[in-house]
Amino acid sequence: MWELREGDPMARALLTDELWEFIKPLLPAPKDRRFRFPGRKPIDNRLCLNGILFVLKTGIPWEDLPLEMGCSGMTCWNRLHEWQQAGIWDKIHQALLDRLNAADQLDWERAIVDSSYDRAVAGGATLAPAPSTGANWAASTI
């Protein structure tokens, strides 16, 4: 079985031991296997995270994830989806921001709040309706 080692070309820049030790406690433990029909052993979280980072960094399709990474693209995609549903990515993001802020490595002068990330609860000011741009309604394309 392939395992992450310092110096491996695919693993070297994606997930350092220091970053892994920081993120590891934030990830859920693998589910217990069934007793009667146990199926395959779950893939290690570090291998999946490394595969996810590799796909996101390179932009390759999930199904093209090299087998040398230690897990399939579908396994990585499923784990990505599970962690998204469980809110794990938000926890990792917040923990990394807290760590960088504590180390005074964030420049808050350059921070911006985007309405696509932080919704406006009150809805903002009511604007006048947009003026029509043509004399007649457009024909339906359905």
Q: For residue 71, which of 58, 89, 53, 88 has the smallest C-alpha distance?
A: 53
Taking the C-alpha atoms of residue 21 and residue 58, their distance in angstroms, rounded to an integer, is 24
Give yes or no for residue 12 having a pLDDT over 60.
no
pLDDT tens digits, one per residue of 18-32: 999 999 999 998 777
Give yes or no for residue 11 having a pLDDT over 60.
no
Evaluate whether residue 1 is within a structural domain.
yes
Evaluate whether residue 122 is within a structural domain.
no
Give yes or no for residue 51 having a pLDDT over 90.
yes
Evaluate whether residue 28 is within a structural domain.
no
Evaluate whether residue 130 is within a structural domain.
no
Evaluate whether residue 132 is within a structural domain.
no
Rounded (10°) angle between helices 45-58 and 73-85: 100
* Structural domain span for residue 8: 1-21+42-91
Overall average pLDDT of the 118-126 stretch? 64
Confidence class of residue 112 from pLDDT cuts 50, 70 and 90?
confident
Evaluate whether residue 75 is within a structural domain.
yes
Q: State whether residue 34 is helix, strand or coil.
A: coil
Q: For residue 68, which of 139, 1, 117, 23 has the smallest C-alpha distance?
A: 1
Q: Are the C-beta atoms of 55 and 73 separated by less than 8 Å?
A: yes
- Mean pLDDT of the chain, nearest integer: 80
Evaluate whether residue 2 is within a structural domain.
yes
